Structure 1
């Protein structure tokens, strides 16, 4: 199975060099998609001798992932692992997701931030809980961290057409469309939640992006209906089940 790393970036000069150094230790190909950055992101990526795809203007994370996958698909890859360039995910987190992907190459694997989740800012945590609960309903299977940027996507999921790619809706839509249209099993690999002062502010905007996600989810429910209970324990990469806190209805 051929897997590559894909790092969609928007103004990530602060942490990108460390992220790329961590990924280099795995010996897998790395693609950086610079989504219209205005800082030194492009220079840092080029200095690290990875493949770089440059968007002249910001197109959003979903389109960045699409651009990277088109290049990797043409080169014969079977899937990719995405992670943000902000330094939130460390080598040990990537290793957990990579191991799960190698065991279950046809599953979509989420690096779920269920360890130390209390470190999340309160507003962000509340928004994520609401998103997790509603997206689980739309997907028809329980999902513990629908907004995590650390994921393994198999080729079948990436090749789905008609998946919205605007802003953060792409990550939600991919989970729902893969679950409902392909019957893809979504598994999760538990990782730490990291919200350190040294990390740049998230590009996620709780009000705007959550409203867009909710709008998509409502439309998906109308198309697909509600098939399974969202509080059913999610499946772990080991083949058992793991209960994620995000499966509880929002309070």
Structure 2
């Protein structure tokens, strides 16, 4: 279990003021080759770590033995969205003021956590996104294209340009997670992280990108992100929101204009 709310606050490397109670949530499904290293490196920079095992059938859970983390176990594979939501709710119940997420496959470098927390400290109501540098490569062109298509549609629905909408390395303000109520079923595994950006914009929580390097996975493992199917699902979700009564015509026009005329910011 997480320690009580009076645990020592976390200090960032660029600012002496503390972030009162940040908690890191790591969803994991069959990550036995990477999860221990990811968690060990994370513990060097943040004290409170929750790992949500999503019904792994390998040695993911065993790999965490002896580490000072909170381990939550899903009885069966329920998808990334459900794992994140379980972790969020547990962290909120323990009094988290900011909740970070990163993937368990090693593609995110935990040493970047202080930089994201520094951005969160400066903009406490924003969603901080670790925005990956994504040059075009022959071997990954389909994923890069899918991500940029997702960026376009999600930015349009949110009403402002969003950098790297598919990055799972983020900081969410607790105030946002206390207000949103989104679908977290298995078919929404990757839709959830897109939809929360749109919901956040509606509630006054825009995103701010922090440039990061994306690490290659230490061992080859097929990505759980399926470019065609998941982008179709994301596009469907965005289309439904764009056509809903909730989105006024003025927002449709202004959002589209901003996306078409402004470059994605990666400050």
Pairwise same-fold verdict (TM > 0.5): yes
Give 1:93 shift.
Answer: 2.7
Aligned residues: 235
- 1:22 alignment counterpart: 41
* Alpha-carbon distance in 1 for matches of 2:111, 2:147: 23
2:116 aligned with 1:93: no
The equivalent position to 2:242 in structure 1, one of 212, 221, 224, is 221
2:148 aligned with 1:118: no
Give 1:217 shift.
Answer: 0.6
* Alpha-carbon distance in 1 for matches of 2:217, 2:86: 30
* Alpha-carbon distance in 2 for matches of 1:49, 1:218: 43
C-alpha distance 110-75 of structure 1, shift in aligned 2 (>3 A): same
- 1:35 alignment counterpart: 54
The equivalent position to 2:168 in structure 1, one of 149, 161, 168, is 149
Q: Tell me the secondary structure at the aligned position of residue 92 of structure 1.
A: helix
* Alpha-carbon distance in 2 for matches of 1:107, 1:161: 14
C-alpha distance 187-35 of structure 1, shift in aligned 2 (>3 A): same
Give 1:144 shift.
Answer: 1.2
- TM-score, structure 2 as length reference: 0.82
* Alpha-carbon distance in 2 for matches of 1:91, 1:117: 22
- 1:184 alignment counterpart: 205
* Alpha-carbon distance in 2 for matches of 1:109, 1:142: 14
- 1:159 alignment counterpart: 178
Give 1:75 shift.
Answer: 0.9
* Alpha-carbon distance in 2 for matches of 1:202, 1:150: 16
**Larger Cα-atom Rg:** 2
> 1:60-95 deviations in whole A, cap 9, x for unaligned?
111111101111111111121000000001133323
Unaligned runs of 5+ in 2: 1-19
Give 1:196 shift.
Answer: 4.5
* Alpha-carbon distance in 1 for matches of 2:218, 2:167: 19
Runs of 4+ that moved beyond 6 A:
none
> 1:137-178 deviations in whole A, cap 9, x for unaligned?
011110110100100011122123331222101000000011
Alpha-carbon RMSD across the aligned residues, in angstroms, is 1.8
Give 1:33 shift.
Answer: 0.2
Give 1:112 shift.
Answer: 0.5
* Alpha-carbon distance in 2 for matches of 1:51, 1:76: 15
- 2:83 alignment counterpart: 64
> 1:10-50 deviations in whole A, cap 9, x for unaligned?
11111111101111101420000001111111112233231
Are the aligned partners of 1:172 and 1:213 in contact in 2 as well (CA < 8 Å)?
yes
Q: Tell me the secondary structure at the aligned position of residue 117 of structure 1.
A: coil
- TM-score, structure 1 as length reference: 0.87
- 2:16 alignment counterpart: none
Of the structure 1 ranges 223-232 and 149-158, higher mean CA displacement relative to structure 2 is found in 223-232
> 1:189-236 deviations in whole A, cap 9, x for unaligned?
001133346252210011211111111010111132423311435566
C-alpha distance 94-117 of structure 1, shift in aligned 2 (>3 A): farther
> 1:110-134 deviations in whole A, cap 9, x for unaligned?
00002x5335711100100100011
The equivalent position to 2:262 in structure 1, one of 217, 223, 232, is 232
